[in-house]
Amino acid sequence: MTPARDPRGRKRTRGSLGERAVLLALAAAAIISILITVGIVVVLVSEGATFFTDVPIGEFFTGTEWFPVEGKYGVLPLLNASIVIALIAALVAVPLGLGSAIYLSEYAPERLRRVVKPVLEVLAGMPTIVLGFFALDAVTPALQKIIPGLGLYNALAAGIVVGLLITPLISSLSEDSMRAVPNAMREGAFGLGATRRVVSLRVVVPAALSGIVASIVLAISRAIGETMAVTLAAGTVPNLSWNPLEGMQTITAYIVQVSKGEATRGSLQYESIFAVGLLLFVVTLAINIVAVRIVRRYRTVYQ
């Protein structure tokens, strides 16, 4: 066989030491990150499995009381709290995020957009414990003025700050997908005598819908996984309720509480955090898979 040659006819120097070292280092980096993920899943599953030898899975998923001291391990109150807070967060973040995405993509002058977008993205990087303080110190007191008798810990304030946290995620990803809509499509609509409002809402948003929906789904997944803000703001009392004015404990808040040393290692309560952790992992994984599917299935390919 003749050695491979590059287009200019030189003999290709294949497998020089430097090339190999770089290749190995990069491959190692990729493999390590995969191994770590696999390791986390293995730990979650094995520890969770130990838990489920003591608590039947059926009881875990249908029990309406989470009271480890009395051996009551019904996960519904925790799951419900995570869902309630994520839904409140979505109610806050979807209008805010979509509104700002439409504004930035379709209305804002280019110079303003270049300033505002990074600022919004910084908000996404805000330490969530700071948002927890914000909920306790600012949001709840403000809400208490409107809603008398609102407790210090409540799902509403937690949902609102988580909503603020995920707003940039929605606005940034939605804006990206709206700007990916070809300008020719906007011009087509303008050329028919459409106003900017009609062009934005009837042409650009539908054309970018897959990206917008995916951004919302991802944001909800982020909201369900959010920990510190909800631990601080919603409290640590498991409470199966749809009333956002009550305090409730999310899956993540429970894990924080137990990890902070309330339970001894190896106890059933300690193992329970792996069970709920596994549940959280499965829920967010499922949501992320849905988001990816949405993007793949409904993505309109613009040439």
Partner 1 sequence: MTTDVDAETNAPIQISVAAGSSAQAGSAATATPAGNPPIFRMQDLGVWYGSHQAVRGVTMDVPRNAITALIGPSGCGKSTTLRCLNRMNDLVPGARVEGTIMFGDENLLSSDVDPVDLRGRIGMVFQKPNPFPKSIRDNIEFGMKVNGIKPTPERVEQALRDAALWDEVKDRLKEEAFSLSGGQQQRLCIARAIAVEPEVILMDEPCSALDPIATLAIEELMRKLAERFTLVVVTHNMQQAARVSDQVAFMTVEGSDEGERCGVLAEVGTTRQIFSAPSDPRTEAYITGRVG
By beta-carbon proximity to partner 1, the closer residue of 52 and 190 is 190
Two structure tokens written together for 69: 């001291």
Q: How far is the CB of 269 from partner 1 (least distance, A)?
A: 53
Q: How far is the CB of 128 from partner 1 (least distance, A)?
A: 37
By beta-carbon proximity to partner 1, the closer residue of 200 and 231 is 200
Q: How far is the CB of 300 from partner 1 (least distance, A)?
A: 5
Non-local CB neighbours of 169 within 8 Å, separated by 6+ positions:
93, 97, 124, 215, 218, 219, 222
Q: CA quadruple 236, 239, 244, 250: dihedral positive or negative?
A: positive
Non-local CB neighbours of 102 within 8 Å, separated by 6+ positions:
178, 200, 201, 204, 205
By beta-carbon proximity to partner 1, the closer residue of 8 and 111 is 111
CA distances from 186 to 33, 128, 202, 203 (A): 42, 38, 10, 7
Q: How far is the CB of 168 from partner 1 (least distance, A)?
A: 25
Q: How far is the CB of 59 from partner 1 (least distance, A)?
A: 49
Query: Applying CB under 8 A, which residues contact partner 1?
Result: 109-110, 182, 184-195, 198, 202-203, 206-207, 300
Q: How far is the CB of 188 from partner 1 (least distance, A)?
A: 4
